[in-house]
Amino acid sequence: MNSLDLTFLGTGTSHGIPMISCDCSVCTSSDPRDQRLRTSILLGTPEHQILIDTTPDLRTQCLREKINRVDAVLFTHAHTDHIMGFDDVRRFCEIQDIAMPIYASPFTMEKVKDAFRFAFDDPKPWKNYLRLEPHLIEGPFSLGALEIIPVPLPHGSMTTLGFIFKHQGKKLLAYFTDCQEVPESAVEAAAGAKVLVLDALRETPHPTHLNFEGALAAASRIGAETTYFIHFCHDIAHAKKEAELPANMKLAYDGLKIKI
């Protein structure tokens, strides 16, 4: 495996940007980087295309990026903006004629099952059905040559799983979405990663998400070569905010592709 390809499918908060019935300067911005679908990424290796979270915008994201293959789905947590596009995964079951491997913590898997019980409790062999191969995340696991280390992150009353992606012992990517802080255990697990992707909702404090002050502090502690912030609300104008950031920290935007 020579590299890890990362595509930001969405970088917005649960409302998406523009928000319904909002005429603020960001929601009406002509900068395409201010138009944000709900947060999700796609990771590509020579062996696998790995989707992290299935947002309500999944169909639009897949059409925009011309995605024609998904080999596994990882869930960070069970909030609606991260799971409610799950039924669109059935198209990849049909294209590839597979039962889709899905990975989640036991709690998140139960919540996904509650929302999409038909696919779990009433499985069908039909090619165009949502056929599943569930895997509980209870420790590190691998997809091909890619080692994946789950990291618990506090997110209000829920726990989000962050993921660290390693190849041959090298930390390529730490993906930490939807968290109100980054505990020291998570800092140590991600320290020195080549790329960090980190939640940064807005400027002012929030009870369940990092604001930019907290995100910048966490990013500095982790010390990745490059940090990309995600999951912004409409308080954040891309061009203005990115101009304020240190040289090795950036705002991600929908459709951004990087090779790690």
Tell me if 201 is assigned to some domain.
yes
pLDDT of residue 236: 98
Q: Is residue 114 part of a domain?
A: yes
pLDDT band at 122 (very low <50, low <70, confident <90, very high): confident
β-strand partners of 226? 195
Residue 116: closest CA among 105, 101, 132, 100: 132
Q: Is residue 258 part of a domain?
A: no
pLDDT of residue 159: 98
Query: Residue 32: which domain range?
Result: 5-252
Question: Residue 110: CB partners within 8 Å, gap ≥ 6?
Answer: none
Domain assignment present for 211: yes
Collect all residues with Cβ–Cβ distance below 8 Å to 104 and sequence separation of at least 6: 74, 75, 78, 112, 134, 135, 136, 137, 161
Name the DSSP letter for residue 116: T
Instruction: Find the mean pLDDT for residues 165-187.
Output: 97
How many domains would you assign to the chain? 1
pLDDT class of 196 with cuts at 50, 70, 90: very high
CB 52 within 8 A of CB 83: no
Residue 1: pLDDT over 80: no
- For tokens 């062999």, the residue is 125
Give pLDDT tens digits for 69-106.
Answer: 999 999 999 999 999 999 999 999 999 999 999 999 99
Mean pLDDT of 185-189: 97
Residue 172 lies in a domain: yes
As a whole number, the mean pLDDT across the chain is 97
pTM of the full structure:
0.97
Flag whether 257 is in a domain. no
Q: Tell me, what CATH number does 76's domain have?
A: 3.60.15.10
Residue 259 lies in a domain: no
The pLDDT confidence band at residue 23, using thresholds 50, 70 and 90, is very high
Tokens of 182: 């980054």
What does the pLDDT look like over 204-253, one tens digit per residue? 999 999 999 999 999 999 999 999 999 999 999 999 999 999 999 999 99
How many Cβ atoms from other residues are within 10 Å of residue 94's Cβ? 15
pLDDT at 57: 98
Please write the tens of the pLDDT for every residue from 33-57.
999 999 999 999 999 999 999 999 9
The pLDDT score that the predictor gives to residue 250 is: 98
What's the pLDDT score for residue 74? 98
Q: Which residues contact 17 (CB under 8 A, 6 or more apart)?
A: 26, 27, 34, 35, 36, 232, 233, 234
Any domain includes 260: no
Q: How confident is the model at residue 123 (pLDDT cuts 50, 70, 90)?
A: confident
Q: What is the mean pLDDT of residues 60-64?
A: 98
